[in-house]
């Protein structure tokens, strides 16, 4: 029976873990903040597509070191934050055959893990899901709920296919893609732009960000810098991507990005994974990105203020 360990089982980890557990995978979790209630009662999940249900993991750990045997898949769903050594976090549970699955935000977030575990297969996943934690152990699945998954740095694998099948069987659409890094860059075109802008003016929603012709021109110019960086990094994007993103964002009700919500709630923001790594890739490849540089400088000031406030 396939064993899966979810490390950092917050909202995304719990929801995806519950889906994987539906058809027999042994899903254990490492969760620190809600450990007591999750160990006692499992997760209380409200979901329109998976149904309201209780997810009782096979085992609940407070720390990765408590895991008795390396899992077949170790799924990492923690935030990517400076100072958090994700490789050291998962090392105690990674066996020689463990497939490491990164379901996280940002670009260039795999290299550090790949370098630390050169013998292990790495899968990289992009979650498309609206899900939040409403209280300790309580997960509210609001919208969407799918995953794009691929082998890092590129290609496909039987392990990816098997995991995708388990997700699909559990009710989470999972597409295996050949170039997951290109897909990460695609997502970064939206994320690096909207997330960064959204924390200005404490905070701006998508409708305000796209509120005028001038503001849309600015968003477009910022997105063009991400596209130029992606292309220089070997991951050119579709010429219509920016149009599609702007039209798509305008077509749905105003909302706040994950970074805006983190800012409002005083939680750490993934500025480095989403924007900092984009800016560093631009510098590495000699791409001039004055708008992203400005957003990055401003975001770091806001982060410094936000940290000081806590």
CB of 289 to a copy of itself, least distance (A): 9
The reply to whether omega before 76 is within 30° of 0 (cis) is no
CB of 268 to a copy of itself, least distance (A): 15
Q: Distance between CA 56 and CA 39 in Å, rounded?
A: 8
89 vs 200, beta carbon nearer a copy of itself = 200
235 vs 256, beta carbon nearer a copy of itself = 256
CB–CB of 206/194 below 8 Å?
Answer: yes
Which residues of the chain form contacts with a copy of itself (CB under 8 A)? Answer: 197, 199-204, 208-209, 211-212, 214-215, 217-218, 263, 290-291, 293-295, 297-298, 300-302, 304-306, 308
77 vs 306, beta carbon nearer a copy of itself = 306
69 vs 294, beta carbon nearer a copy of itself = 294
Q: Which two tokens stand for residue 233?
A: 């990094």
Nearest alpha-carbon partner for 274 in 160, 166, 196:
196
Residue 148, beta-bridge partner list: 126, 175
252 vs 304, beta carbon nearer a copy of itself = 304
CB of 39 to a copy of itself, least distance (A): 38
Residue with tokens 């791409």: 287
CB of 193 to a copy of itself, least distance (A): 12
Whole-angstrom Cα Rg for the chain: 19
CB of 205 to a copy of itself, least distance (A): 8
279 SS3 class: helix
Q: Distance between CA 110 and CA 196 in Å, rounded?
A: 21
């Amino acid at each position: 029976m396939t064993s899966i360990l979810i490390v950092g089982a917050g909202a995304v980890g719990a929801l995806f873990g519950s889906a994987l557990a539906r058809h027999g995978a042994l899903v254990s979790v490492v969760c620190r903040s809600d450990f007591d209630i999750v160990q006692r009662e499992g997760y209380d999940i409200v979901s329109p597509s998976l149904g309201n249900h209780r997810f009782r993991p096979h085992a609940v750990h407070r720390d990765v070191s408590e895991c008795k045997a390396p899992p077949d898949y170790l799924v990492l769903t923690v935030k990517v934050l400076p100072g958090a050594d994700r490789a050291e976090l998962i090392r105690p549970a990674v066996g020689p055959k463990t497939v490491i699955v990164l379901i996280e935000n940002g670009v260039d977030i795999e290299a550090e893990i790949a370098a630390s575990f050169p013998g292990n297969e790495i899968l990289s996943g992009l979650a498309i899901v609206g899900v939040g934690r409403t209280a300790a152990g309580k997960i509210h699945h609001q919208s969407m709920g799918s995953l794009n998954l691929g082998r890092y740095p590129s290609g496909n694998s039987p392990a990816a296919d098997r995991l995708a099948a388990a997700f699909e069987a559990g009710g989470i659409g999972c597409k295996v893609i050949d170039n997951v890094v290109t897909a990460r860059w695609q997502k970064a075109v939206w994320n690096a732009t909207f997330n960064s802008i959204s924390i200005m003016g404490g905070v701006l929603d998508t409708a305000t960000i796209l509120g005028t012709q001038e503001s849309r021109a600015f968003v477009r110019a910022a997105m063009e810098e991400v596209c130029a960086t992606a292309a220089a990094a070997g991951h050119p994007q579709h010429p219509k991507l920016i149009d599609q993103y702007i039209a798509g964002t305008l077509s749905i009700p105003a909302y706040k990005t994950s970074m805006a919500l983190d800012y409002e709630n005083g939680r750490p923001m993934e500025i480095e994974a989403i924007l900092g790594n984009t800016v560093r890739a631009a510098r590495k490849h000699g791409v001039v990105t004055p708008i992203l540089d400005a957003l990055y400088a401003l975001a770091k000031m806001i982060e410094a203020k936000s940290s000081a406030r806590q």
